[in-house]
Amino acid sequence: AEARGAPGCRRGGALHREGSRNATSCSRCDCPAGWLGADCSVCNSTAACPPKEGAPAAECNRRLLPSREELTAGGKRLACSCGGDPISDAECQLQPETYMLLELVGEGGGDGNGSASFSLRASEQAGVPDLPGEIFRYADPRVWNATFTGCEANEGPCQPPLKGRCVFYSCADGSVACP
């Protein structure tokens, strides 16, 4: 994982390593206080967030719908891990330690009703064995990276089997790359 540069720990984080044949290593960083996400790039505390243009961070939030202010002030970063409901929990056991990072950055424009268009950069990492040797030569925690453009976010009813309200991102164009 380190040789491939993933996940690229930030903010003083260190690559999580277990030195085992289990696929539980190298997909995330062990983060310092105030930071989370696979690469320690998501602020979890306003005290940890760096100031923007000399002003301290106003808030750290878990909203999935980006505000216009967030998009125009450098973007919004989100981090999530696989699981959270009985169906995905079972699927997540097939590829443990799976994490997703999303970065939403404003593109300008919008629909004239206060909805801004944005670019969405996404990356997924998953655990790999952390052992030397030929058998693990191609083990890579990077699953895929993508850049989508002309995106908009909306909230609505979740698709079954999920319940409640969900956020949907729709994008006009994009490209996906696998390692």
pLDDT tens string 20-62: 666 667 778 889 998 888 888 888 877 777 776 666 666 677 7
Q: How confident is the model at residue 168 (pLDDT cuts 50, 70, 90)?
A: very high
> Which tokens sit at 63?
């909203």
- List pLDDT tens digits, range 69-128: 888 877 888 888 888 777 788 888 877 788 888 999 998 654 444 457 899 999 988 877
Q: Which residues contact 179 (CB under 8 A, 6 or more apart)?
A: 4, 140, 142, 143, 144
Specify the pLDDT at position 114. Answer: 47
Q: Which residue has the tokens 């997909």?
A: 27
Report the 10 Å Cβ neighbour count for 96. 14
- Entry pTM: 0.76
